[in-house]
Amino acid sequence: MFEKMDLAEKRYDELARLLSDPEILARQELWQQYSRELAMLTPGVELYRRYRDLNRELADARELLQDDQDGELSEFLQEEIARITGQIEKVARELKEHLLPRDPHDQKNVFLEIRAGTGGEEAALFAADLLRMYSRYAERNGWKVEIVDAHATDIGGFKEVVVGIEGKGVYSRLKYESGVHRVQRIPATESGGRIHTSAATVAVLPEAEELEVEINPQELRIDTYCSTGPGGQSVNTTQSAVRITHLPTGLVVTCQDEKSQLKNREKALRVLRSRLLDKYTTEQAAELAEARRSQIGSGDRSERIRTYNFPQNRVTDHRIGLTLHQLDLVLDGELDQIIDQLIASEKAKQLQSTGE
């Protein structure tokens, strides 16, 4: 651990020097690159320096205790030693967590895809509830939400909706939402008052950069058509909607949110690139199945991850056995209490797997 942090601290000092160099200041792209690297190193270096300072304080307190022949300061120094020791243990834990392997996609924007599953119209209404939940959560975090494609139903639900979410660390928080979300409630369309179970699937895809996924234009089939609204009705008479098929994989992406065919095409390509990155990442991860067992769930979107029970105002995350009787707040976008515990559980398992 200390060897890694020594190297990180040296690089930190080097970057701090480079960022004040007039030659680097004149090259804005390089200056921004170094600034981002420095920002990533700062939390760990600050923890490491705090850890060293505390150990020096502890050594000084122990030396004073040894020199205290008459015992006048004995009680005070023993309390100080206990306090400093507790702080050292806390900082050491934080430092170990900081050094855990990081998901390279954590700082990326995402495409969030919600699809109605079993349950017919009720599942489509639940998909709309999930869209509102994530939109409210994004709003609380100052993230930007943009609808890319949506297939609405006549009574306000969604068969499928795709949104782009932009902001700092979006994927690091929302990646835990991929999977099957189940709802238990009396449907608005049910007159008998019976509780039904429906489901919707959520996929959270980190937005891929062009350099990460190269798409050969000759491997694409691009179709245009008139955009449609609920029930399949035509919304406009121009061929602005776009459907892109990636022939080697069979992946199909549609986009009809913009009035401009060009903008719809650009958005669809961004979604396609992200789906391809997700496909390749999933295939690579499948080859590392043993390592994946140490993580929360499998990440498989066929896995049921959460149940929303309306009669009991209860939400249960099945991966960590967490139950909250605050369903109304969760659906209003207060997801941090769930996501924070998912992150803590993942870190604990990672530390356990490394023998810490």
Mean pLDDT score, 3-28: 93
Local structure of 302: helix, strand or coil: coil
Q: What angle do CA 13, 101, 343 make, to 5 degrees?
A: 115
Contact residues for 197 (Cβ-Cβ < 8 A; gap 6+): 118, 119, 182, 183, 184
Q: What are the angstrom distances between the C-alpha of 274 and each of 36, 123, 205, 269?
A: 23, 25, 6, 9
pLDDT band at 212 (very low <50, low <70, confident <90, very high): confident
Q: What are the angstrom distances between the C-alpha of 5 and each of 9, 10, 47, 347?
A: 6, 9, 10, 19
- What single DSSP character describes residue 228? B
| Cα(195)–Cα(125) distance, integer angstroms | 15
Mean pLDDT of the chain: 87
pLDDT band at 236 (very low <50, low <70, confident <90, very high): low
| Cα(256)–Cα(350) distance, integer angstroms | 42
Closest CA to 65 of 80, 50, 53: 80
Neighbouring-strand partners of residue 304: 180
Residue 229: CA atoms inside 13 Å, Cβ hemisphere, count?
8
Contact residues for 84 (Cβ-Cβ < 8 A; gap 6+): 54, 57, 58, 61
Rg over CA atoms, the chain: 26
Least confident of 131-140, 152-161, 205-214, 305-314: 205-214
Q: Which long-range contacts (CB under 8 A, 24 or more apart) does 222-227 make?
A: 222/265, 224/261, 227/256
Contact residues for 283 (Cβ-Cβ < 8 A; gap 6+): none
Q: Which stretch, 67-71, 249-253, 291-295, has highest mean pLDDT?
A: 249-253
Over the stretch 242-284, which tens digit does the pLDDT of each residue have?
999 999 999 999 998 778 888 899 899 989 989 898 888 777 6
Q: Over 80: is that where the pLDDT of 152 sits?
A: yes
Q: What is the pLDDT of residue 49?
A: 96
- What single DSSP character describes residue 102? P
Q: Over 60: is that where the pLDDT of 237 sits?
A: no
Q: Over 60: is that where the pLDDT of 312 sits?
A: yes
Contact residues for 130 (Cβ-Cβ < 8 A; gap 6+): 114, 181, 200, 202
| Cα(294)–Cα(347) distance, integer angstroms | 10
Least confident of 11-15, 143-147, 190-194: 190-194
Burial 323-340, CB ≥16 within 10 A → b, else e: ebeebeebbebbbeebbe
| Cα(119)–Cα(196) distance, integer angstroms | 8
Least confident of 84-93, 185-194, 196-205, 237-246: 185-194
CATH top-level class for 110-287+299-347?
A: alpha beta
Inter-residue contact 226 to 236 (CB < 8 Å): yes
Mean pLDDT score, 99-126: 89
Inter-residue contact 333 to 349 (CB < 8 Å): no
Q: What is the pLDDT of residue 162?
A: 93
**Residue 296 or residue 7, greater confidence:** 7
Please state whether 323 falls in left (phi above 0), alpha (psi between -120 and 50) or beta: beta
Mean pLDDT score, 106-125: 92
Inter-residue contact 333 to 139 (CB < 8 Å): yes
Angle between helices 2-18 and 28-67 (to 10 degrees): 130
- What single DSSP character describes residue 110? E
Q: What is the pLDDT of residue 296?
A: 40
Q: Over 60: is that where the pLDDT of 299 sits?
A: no
pLDDT band at 291 (very low <50, low <70, confident <90, very high): very low
221 sits in which H/E element: strand 220-225
pLDDT band at 347 (very low <50, low <70, confident <90, very high): confident
Q: What is the pLDDT of residue 355?
A: 60
